[in-house]
């Protein structure tokens, strides 16, 4: 079935078309979200939100780009929204702790594992993903989409709804920031 026919069926509320979209793109969406959030439980929740939004807003999809590009865009947006909500919760928890109302925050798993990383590289990957997690959100997204998901700069610019030069700049700055962080880490762990 062509992508256009699949979209047409989904617009009519066809459950089989929706199941096919989920089956076809669930790994891509989950891995993208996981690469940005670096937390499996959060990634599962956000990936589900992505597909709920696809189902609810398929009528607004103009088919000017590929369906996968639209899915990346939704996954990135949902992931960034989740990070912002989490940051607000942490700030609120900090304020509460100042007034003696302690609520423990769930920390990121220190041995984060991405399914695309070979087991023998797990330790180095954990260090790298921790460094990636410290990048500013847009750098983190651009770098993850390029290096972890293998998207081209053009695909990233479409998914992030930004210019090609902005993507090039984000990835260049991300590489510089990662290089600095990893140099510091390895100097301290000789």
| pLDDT band at residue 189 under the 50/70/90 scheme | confident
What is the pTM (predicted TM-score) of this model? 0.68
3-state SS of the chain?
CCHHHHHHHHHCCCHHHHHHHHHHHHHHHHHHHHHHHCCHHHHHHHHHHHHHHHHHHHHHCCCCCCHHHHHHHHHHHHHHHHHHHHHHHHHHHHHHHHCCCCCCCCCCCCCCCCCCCCHHHHHHHHHHHHHHHCCCHHHHHHHHHHHHCCCCHHHHHHHHCCCHHHHHHHHHHHHHHHHHHHHHHHHHCC
Residue-wise pLDDT tens digits, 44-93? 999 999 999 999 999 999 888 899 999 999 999 999 999 888 876 655 55
- Could you give the domains of the chain? 1-108 (1.10.1740.10), 110-190 (1.10.10.10)
């Amino acid at each position: 079935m062509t992508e256009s026919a699949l979209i047409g069926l989904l617009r009519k509320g066809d459950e089989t078309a929706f199941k096919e979209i989920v089956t076809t793109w669930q790994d891509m969406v989950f891995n993208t979200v996981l690469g940005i959030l670096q937390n499996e439980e959060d990634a599962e929740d956000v990936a589900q939100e992505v597909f709920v939004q696809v189902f609810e807003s398929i009528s607004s999809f103009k088919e000017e780009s590929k369906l996968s590009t639209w899915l990346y865009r939704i996954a990135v947006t949902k992931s960034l929204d989740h990070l912002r909500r989490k940051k607000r919760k942490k700030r609120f928890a900090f304020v509460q702790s100042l007034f003696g109302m302690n609520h423990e925050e769930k920390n990121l798993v220190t041995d984060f594992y991405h399914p695309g990383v070979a087991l023998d590289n797990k330790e180095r990957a954990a260090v790298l993903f921790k460094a990636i997690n410290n990048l500013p959100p847009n750098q983190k997204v651009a770098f993850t989409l390029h290096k972890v998901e293998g998207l081209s700069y053009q695909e990233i610019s479409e998914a992030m709804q930004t210019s090609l030069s902005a993507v090039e700049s984000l990835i260049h700055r991300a590489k510089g920031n990662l290089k600095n962080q990893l140099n510091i880490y390895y100097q301290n762990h000789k």
